Amino acid sequence: MEMSGGQQTGDVYRCPLDVRRNCSRLHLGNAPHRHRGRRSLENVSERKDQMKLGMSLTSNPKDQSFVTCGPLWSHECGSSFYSTGICSRIARNFKFSSTIAPALQRCETFMDIVIVLDGSNSIYPWFEVQNFLINILEKFYMGPGQTQVGVLQYGSRVVHEFSLSDYQTVEEVVAAAHNIQQRGGEETRTALGINVARQEAFGRGGRSGARKVMIVITDGESHDSPALPAAVELSKQENITMYAIAVLGYYNRRGIDPEAFLKEIRFIANDPDDQHFFKVTDESALKDIVDALGERIFSIEG
């Protein structure tokens, strides 16, 4: 066993005892690029430094294979790291066979989140909505086995700003969010936005077994309200957790009673309302709900 490289991941060698020949290295510790998946797992945010691969080794005399383990291998879930260990099965010809991680559990942050953003003409100023989007994205735990985010914008029509599988890090999605411009539109077709999110956005890089979360942000009653009940019901039937945010800036600026609008947005949100429904006085107040929204999303129970 060798502590190889700066990460001290370890490795395994086969060395002859009766003649002076070079040892053969298995390259499990710092595998060449073509073997990068050898002791890695898909959809897992790994932490490999100090894993000490080779500290544990057991053989199978029946087929002359053996299993070697890195007991300190860990994976990231949200803000925590869990040291569950990882093992590699090696065949009799000293070739890697498979990876074993029996204690690994799926992260609670294994989510596909689609943000449905109203970009119609009545939203003003746009930079406040954009700042909110950036701030909430910075709350997400992104990475393999954790959170993916897609954003679509709607008004009279729907545009996919970016899809779930487009970006793998918080830095990448924040950079993309900085480039989202307001699309405008004379209508607010919220039912259309929800349907496109359900039918298309979750299919653009969505992962089997990931929790589905939809966040709808709008500032007015929908122009396609007759289609809204079916859109919301179908989303909930597909186990999509719905959060809804009512922005009251348009109503407050014009002195309009928002009661019908608030009733519609409460209907979109999952029950109970105190966990899934938000309202803010105007676009600039969106920043005040960032922390609460992030906490509620990542406290979803499986």
Q: Name the pTM for this structure.
A: 0.76
Give the separation between CA 85 and CA 157, rounded to whole angstroms: 49
**Neighbour-count burial of 18, counting CB atoms closer than 10 A to its CB (0-12 exposed, 13-18 middle, 19+ buried):** exposed
pLDDT score of 145: 85
pLDDT score of 300: 62
pLDDT classification of 51: cutoffs 50, 70, 90:
low
Give the separation between CA 223 and CA 186, rounded to whole angstroms: 10
pLDDT classification of 19: cutoffs 50, 70, 90:
low
Q: Would the pLDDT of 179 be above 90?
A: yes
Q: Which residue has the higher pLDDT, 62 or 85?
A: 62
Give the separation between CA 284 and CA 281, rounded to whole angstroms: 8
Residue 215's CB is within 10 A of a number of other CB atoms, namely 24
Q: Would the pLDDT of 17 be above 70?
A: yes
Give the separation between CA 257 and CA 120, rounded to whole angstroms: 20
Instruction: Dihedral sign for Cα 264, 151, 290, 187, please.
Output: negative
Which residues are paired to 115 by β-bridges? 151, 215
Tell me which DSSP letter residue 284 carries: G
